[in-house]
Structure 1
Amino acid sequence: MKVQFFILLTTCLISAVFGVSLKDDGRSYTLKNDYATVVIEKNSGKLTSIKIAGNNQEFLNRAYIDANGGKVGFKVSKSTVIKNTADHVEVAFYDNYNSNSSFGLDWEVRYTMLKDTKGVYFTLKHTHKPNYKATQFSEIRLVMRLKSNIFNWLQVEDDVGRIMPTAAQQKNCQIMGPKEACKITTGEVIHKYDWSIDMLKHDVHGFASQSTGLGCWYVFPSMEWKNGGAYNRDLACHQGENDSLQIMYMNGSHYGAGDTDIKQNENWEKIYGPYLIYLNKASSPQAAWKDAKAVAKAEKAKWPYSWVSMAGYVKQRGSVSGNISIKNPLTNENLPLEDAVVTLVQPENQQGIPNKQWRNYSFWTHSLRGNSIDFKINNVIPGTYVLRTWSKGVVGEFIYDKTVTVTAGQNTNVGNLTFKEKRAGPIAWEIGIPDRTAMEYRHGNEYRQWGLYYKFPQEFPNSVNFKIGQSNIAKDWNYCQVSVPGNGGKYEQRPWNIIFNMNKKPTGQAVLRVSIAASSDSALSVSLNGGKQSAEVNLQDDACVRRDGIRGFYRELEFKFNANDFKIGENKITLYHRKK
C-alpha cells in the first residue's frame, strides 16, 4: 500500500508540473501540453502537425496562411518566442514590409498554447504604416487541409452537417457551372459554397471523424474583426479529394463584401482573433460538435482574453445598452419583434454600407424578442459608432440618428429608442415574411445545394403567376427570380405576375414595397396592368444566388402607382428582372 501511494503521489506531481512546454529543434517549434501537440515550421509559420495526446493520429496534410486565393503568401522574415513558461507558451512569426513585398503590410502571426488549452490559439495582426504603398486585398485566410479519409464529417451550423464523399468518389469529377461545382461518381453535385456561414450567430465550424471520434474546430469567442461583421456571409469548409479544407476567411469577399483598400499615407492596423483551433474526441461527430459548441460558449465568457500581449489588442472595453421599440405609424402601436438584431458599425457616409466595412471593428447582439426589447452589447472597443437595428416581421432597417460613444470601463445607455416602420397606408396584401432572407419561398429552406436555379424553367414553365389569396408562397413563389437560357444560348428574363382583386379603386397613390434579400448584377422594374414599365433599378452583385446563399445585400425598393391605373376586379403587377 505504501508503494502504491508513493507512485500515485509522484504521478500527480509530474502532471501538475508538466503544464505546457516549448521545444525548438532549429527547424520547428513544438508546443505541447497534457492534451495536444502542435508543430509549427520556423521558416514558414505554417502548422505542420497536430495531434491529441495519447493518440498518434495526424490531423494535417498541410496548412497555410495566404491572401487572395493563394496569390500572395505569408513569407516569414523572422520568428521569436514571446513567452515560455509552464503556464503559457507563445511564438510569433513576422513578415515585414519591404520594397519587394506584394502587399504594403506588416504581418504578425502568433500561436499560443496555455497549460489547459485543448489545441492552440491563432492570431494575425496587419499593420500599414503611412510610408507603405497602397494595398488592396479581398481575402485573408487560414487554411488547414485535414486528412479527408479520417475527417469525413463536415459541420458548420447546428443543422448543417453531413458525411462527405470519399476521395475516390471525387476523383475526376465533372465540372459544372459555376466552376466550383463538381459532379462526382455517385451523381451528386458538391459545391463548396453549400457550407458557407453567416457571421451573425456563428461561433464554430470544422470537421469530425466517424471512425476515430476525433474533431478539429475553429472556435470564435468574437467575430468583431470580420469585415462586414453581422452582415457578412463567407466560405467556411469544403472538401477536395484527399483534403478536408477547414478555412477561416478573416477577410473575405465571396458574398460581395468588397475589397480592403488601404491608401498610401494611411496609418491602419487590425488584429484578427485570437480564435481557438480546438481539438476533441467524442463518441460521434454529433457529440464532438456539441462539445465544441459548449467550448465556444466558455470561450465567449473569457473574451477579451487576459493573456494576450500583442500590441494593439484592446482589453479595456465598454458596453452599450438601451431599449428598442418599432411602431406601426398608422396605429402608433408597438410591432412585435422577433429574432431582432442590434449592431454598432461605422457611419455609412464615411465607411460605406455595413456589408462592405473593413477598416474598423463592429459589435452586435441578436435573437432579441418582445414588443419592447432591452439590449446590451458587451466588450465594445472604445470609440464612436452608429447603432442600427432590424427585426424579423418588420420591414426595414432602422438607424439611430445620433452617434454612440463608448468609453472603457463604462456602460453607455442610449435610453429608449423608438422607430417607426415606413408605411404609406394599410397593407392590402403581403407575399412572404420580412426577415432579410428568402427561406419561406419554394426551395428557400433547401438553398444549400447546387443547381436549384436551373430548375425554374421546368417547375415554372409559364413563369410565376401568383394569385393573392389562392397561391402558396412555399410552392408558387420561387426563392429567386432568375433569367433562363433562350435562343442562341442567351439568357432571357421571365417576368413574374402578381394577380389580385379589388372591390374598389384606391385613393391617392398606392405603393409596392419590395425587399431584396440578395441580388446579382441585374436590374428590376415593374408595371401595373400591362402599362408602362417603371424605371429600372440597378441591383448590386453579392454572388448569393450562384453561391447557394439565402442572404446578401438587403435593400428596400418602392414603386408608386396612380389610383386610376387600378381596375375594379382583377389586377396584375408584373416584375421584370433582367441579367445585366
Structure 2
Amino acid sequence: MVKKKDMILATKIFVAVLLHFIVSTADSTSSINTQSNHKRTLRNHPRGSTLYPPVQLQVYDDHVVVDNGIFSMTIASPTGTVTGINFNGIENILNDRNGISDRGYWDVNWSDPSDPKDNLDKLAGKQLDVIVNDENQVELSFKRLWTFSQENNHVSLNIDKRFVVLRGSSGFYSYGIFERLKGWPDANVYQGRIVFKLQDKLFRYMAVSDERQRIMPTFEDREKGQPLDYPEAVLLTRPSNSFLQGELDDKYQYSTENKDNRVHGWICSDPPVGFWMITPSNEFRTAGPVKQDLTSHAGPVTLSMFFSTHYAGIDLGIKFRDGEPWKKVFGPVFIYLNSVTTEDDPLSLWVDAKEEMLLQTESWPYNFPNSSDYPRAHQRGQVTGRLLVHDIVLAYARNAFVGLAPPGTLGSWQVENKGYQFWTQTDNKGYFQIKNVRPGCYHLYAWVPGYIGDYMYRSIIYVLQGSKIRMGVLVHKPPRNGPTIWEIGVPDRTAAEFYVPEPNPTLMNQLYASQRTESFRQYGLWDRYTDLYPDQDLVYTVGVSDYETNWFFTHANRNVGNKTYIPTTWTVLFDLEYVIPGNYTIQLALASATAAEVQIKINNEGVSPVFTTGLIGRDNAIARHGIHGLYWLYSVDVLNSQLQAGTNAMYLTQTRGSSPFRGVMYDYIRLEKPPL
C-alpha cells in the first residue's frame, strides 16, 4: 500500500515538473527587480515604517503612476482603469495585449426594465480626485456622476472608484461607492465586480483553495477548443500544454461560497510571483454566507464578485423602482502581490497568500479608507447571544449560521441584495458574536445544520455606533408536526451527501478525478442519470436503500435522443405497520431548483397529486456544477386515508422536461406521523 506521505511527495514532484514545463515554454523574465521584497522581510516590519520607501504619485495628462518602492501601478485617468502593474522584474503583470480598458476594471451588467437588452458598463470615470497624497498613503478617486442626459448610455448610478496604496504594502486596495438619488429612473442591475486580466504566458497556475489548484489553459486554448452545451464549457482539443489535451474547462467549476471566497489567484514560476484577490469581509456581498460565485478562471482572469445572479437567478438582480434612493460601499478588497527567490518553491506563494488573507481579515474594518461612507471600527457595533434549537429535545445550536441582514421575512436574507449582511457561526454551545456591524436596522436570522427551516428574531435590532447588544438566549423551533417515521438525506441545504456519479471519461476535469467531495463539479453529470437509468427511473426503498449510493444527487430529466429530454418520476417505497388517525406530514427540503416543478402522489400514479411546488427556481446549479442553489422548504399534508398498512409508495415527479438543466436537487425528505 502506498503511504500517504509518499503520495504527497509524488504529487509535489509532479507539480514541480509541470511548473518547470511552463517555465520552459513561457517567455523568460528571469531578471529580479532589486527593489522586490521577500515576504519574510515584509512580515518583520510594520507597514508604514520608514524602513520602506515613501509612496509617490505622478500625475500625467492621461494616466497616473503610484509607486511605493515594492511595486508601481499605472491607472488611466480619468477613467480609473488599471493599465499596468510593475512588480519583481515583470514590467506589466496585466495583459498589455488587451486594450487599456480591458486589463483591470470595475463593471456592472444592467438593463432598463422596459427593455430586456443586457448592457455592460465598465464604469469609466470622468473625474480624478486625489484624496490623500503623502509619504505613507495615496488614495485616488475616479468619479462619474449620472445625469438624465446619460439615461440610455450608462446605468443610473453615481460611481466613485477608489484605489489605495500604502507604504510598505505589497499590493493595493480598491473599493467603490455606488449611489442613486431620489427620482432617478428604474433600473435592473444584475452583476457588479472588479476584474484583472493577467499575462497568459506568465500566469499559468491557478489556486482557489488547498484542494483546487492546477495548471490552466489560456484564452487561446479555449478559442481553439470545442464548445459544448453552453459557451463557458469547452473541450480542449489543441491546448498549448499537452498535459491539458482532452480536458474540459469551465469557469463555473471554480465557483466558491461567499464564506470560503477569501483568497484566490495565480502563480508565475519565472520569476516566482503571485497575484491574489483577497476579500477580507463579506459584509458587502449579497445573499448570505453560502451564496456561490466565480473566483479565478482561464484567461488568466481574477475576480472579486460583489453581487450577481449566479446560482440564484433573477431573484438576486438588484431592482430599483419608483425613484428609490440607494447607496452602498463595495470593498475594500486587497490585490496582493508576493514573490520568493528562484531557489524557493513557487507553490509557497499560495501558503503566503493564505497568511496574508488572515492578516487582512484580522485588520477589518480598515483604518485608512478616507470616505465617510466607510465606518471605522469605533463607529461600529456588535451583537452577541446564544442560540438553542428545540426539535424533539432542547439542544445547543452547534455551528449554526447566525447573521444580521436588512429587515425582511423568514429566510429573506438569501435573496437580499441591497444592504449589508454580517454573519458568524456559533460555537459548540450555541454562543455567537457578530462583530464590526455597520450602524443600521437589522433582523437577526439563523439556520442550523442538521435541522430544517429558518429562524428569525421578529423584532428589529437597531445597531448604533459603539453599541454592544446582548440578545440573550434564543430558541429555534424547526418545522415539525409529528415524530419521524423515516428520512432521506441530511438537512444541510446541499445535495452533497447523495450519489454523485463518475463523469463521462471524455468530458473530465482531471482536478476532480480523485476528489470525491468536489466530484459534483464535473461536467455533464445530468446525462449520467440516463446512463444509469436508461429505461426505468430511480426506486428507493426505505430501510434497504442507502441515500449515499442509491439516491442520485439531482432529479434529472431523461435524454431520449436528438437532444430531447423528458420528465422522470422517482419512487420511494416504505412500510407502515398500521395507519393512525390524523394527518401525516412530508417535510420536503430542496437544495436547488431550475425551471422545475415537483409533484407528489401517494400510492397511485394515476390520481391528482397531493402536492405540487408549481414552477420554481432559476438558480441553474445543475448546469453550473453547483451542489445547491437557493433553499426551498415545503410541509405537505398527507391524509391518513391516502396511506395503508403494509407497503406504500410516494411518487416524486419533476414534471418539466425539454432541457437537461431543468430539475431540482433534494436536500432532505422526512415523513412524520400525525401529532401526538
Normalising by structure 1, report the TM-score. 0.91
Matched, 1:342 2:402: yes
- 1:80 to partner: Cα distance: 2.1
Looking at secondary structure, tell me which structure has more strand per residue: 1
Matched, 1:572 2:607: no
Matched with 1:87 is 136
- 1:115 to partner: Cα distance: 0.3
Matched, 1:319 2:382: yes
Q: Distance in 2 between matches of 1:507 and 1:263?
A: 51
Matched with 2:26 is none
Asked whether the 8 Å contact 2:262–2:278 carries over to 1, the reply is yes
- Select 2:361's aligned residue among 300, 303, 308: 300
Matched with 2:547 is 473
Matched with 1:148 is 200
**1:471–1:420 distance in 2 versus 1, CA, 3 Å:** same
The SS at the match of 1:276 is strand
Q: Distance in 2 between matches of 1:95 and 1:169?
A: 37
Q: Distance in 1 between matches of 2:573 and 2:262?
A: 43
> Counterparts of 1:178-577 in structure 2 under 5 Å?
178-185=230-237, 186-239=245-298, 243-256=299-312, 257-282=315-340, 283-284=344-345, 286-315=347-376, 316-328=379-391, 330=392, 332-334=393-395, 337-349=397-409, 353-366=412-425, 368-370=426-428, 372-443=429-500, 445-461=518-534, 462-486=536-560, 489-530=563-604, 532=607, 533-538=609-614, 539-577=616-654
Q: Distance in 2 between matches of 1:171 and 1:321?
A: 52
The SS at the match of 2:146 is coil
Q: Distance in 2 between matches of 1:292 and 1:448?
A: 25
State which drifts further: 374-383 or 420-429: 420-429
Asked whether the 8 Å contact 1:525–1:535 carries over to 2, the reply is yes
Asked whether the 8 Å contact 1:40–1:49 carries over to 2, the reply is yes
The SS at the match of 1:559 is strand
**1:168–1:107 distance in 2 versus 1, CA, 3 Å:** closer
- 1:474 to partner: Cα distance: 2.1
Which amino acid in structure 1 is aligned with residue 526 of structure 2?
Y
Query: What whole-Å deviation, never above 9, does each CA across 1:482-501 have from its counterpart, x for those lacking one?
Result: 11233764421111111222
Asked whether the 8 Å contact 1:467–1:498 carries over to 2, the reply is yes
Which amino acid in structure 1 is aligned with residue 94 of structure 2?
L
Q: Distance in 1 between matches of 2:630 and 2:445?
A: 15
Which amino acid in structure 2 is aligned with residue 250 of structure 1?
F
The SS at the match of 1:300 is helix
Q: Distance in 2 between matches of 1:405 and 1:158?
A: 39
Which amino acid in structure 2 is aligned with residue 273 of structure 1?
G
Query: What whole-Å deviation, never above 9, does each CA across 1:507-538 have from its counterpart, x for those lacking one?
Result: 42221111111110111111111253224213
Which amino acid in structure 2 is aligned with residue 576 of structure 1?
T
The SS at the match of 2:527 is helix
Q: Distance in 2 between matches of 1:537 and 1:339?
A: 30
Q: Distance in 2 between matches of 1:369 and 1:570?
A: 43
Q: Distance in 2 between matches of 1:70 and 1:136?
A: 10
Matched, 1:122 2:174: yes
The SS at the match of 2:458 is coil
Asked whether the 8 Å contact 1:153–1:285 carries over to 2, the reply is no
Which amino acid in structure 1 is aligned with residue 640 of structure 2?
A
Which amino acid in structure 2 is aligned with residue 381 of structure 1?
R
Matched with 2:92 is 58
Q: Distance in 1 between matches of 2:451 and 2:308?
A: 29
Matched with 1:111 is 163
Asked whether the 8 Å contact 2:447–2:455 carries over to 1, the reply is yes
Q: Distance in 1 between matches of 2:411 and 2:647?
A: 43
State which drifts further: 115-124 or 286-295: 286-295
> Counterparts of 1:67-86 in structure 2 under 5 Å?
67-68=108-109, 71-86=120-135
State which drifts further: 525-534 or 309-318: 525-534
Q: Distance in 2 between matches of 1:121 and 1:422?
A: 45
**1:17–1:452 distance in 2 versus 1, CA, 3 Å:** closer
Normalising by structure 2, report the TM-score. 0.78
The SS at the match of 2:459 is coil
Asked whether the 8 Å contact 2:399–2:430 carries over to 1, the reply is no
Which amino acid in structure 1 is aligned with residue 131 of structure 2?
I
Asked whether the 8 Å contact 2:261–2:295 carries over to 1, the reply is no
Aligned Cα root-mean-square deviation (Å): 2.3
Any stretches of 5+ residues in structure 1 without a counterpart? 1-11
The SS at the match of 1:292 is helix
Asked whether the 8 Å contact 2:499–2:549 carries over to 1, the reply is yes
Percent of residue pairs bearing the same amino acid type: 26
**1:144–1:578 distance in 2 versus 1, CA, 3 Å:** same
Q: Distance in 2 between matches of 1:486 and 1:17?
A: 67
The SS at the match of 1:496 is strand
- 1:169 to partner: Cα distance: 4.0
Q: Distance in 2 between matches of 1:446 and 1:523?
A: 26
The SS at the match of 1:194 is helix
- 1:236 to partner: Cα distance: 1.9
The SS at the match of 1:91 is strand
Q: Distance in 2 between matches of 1:486 and 1:275?
A: 48
Q: How many pairs are equivalent? A: 558
Matched with 1:9 is none
Q: Distance in 2 between matches of 1:563 and 1:17?
A: 77
Q: Distance in 1 between matches of 2:186 and 2:636?
A: 42
**1:286–1:478 distance in 2 versus 1, CA, 3 Å:** farther
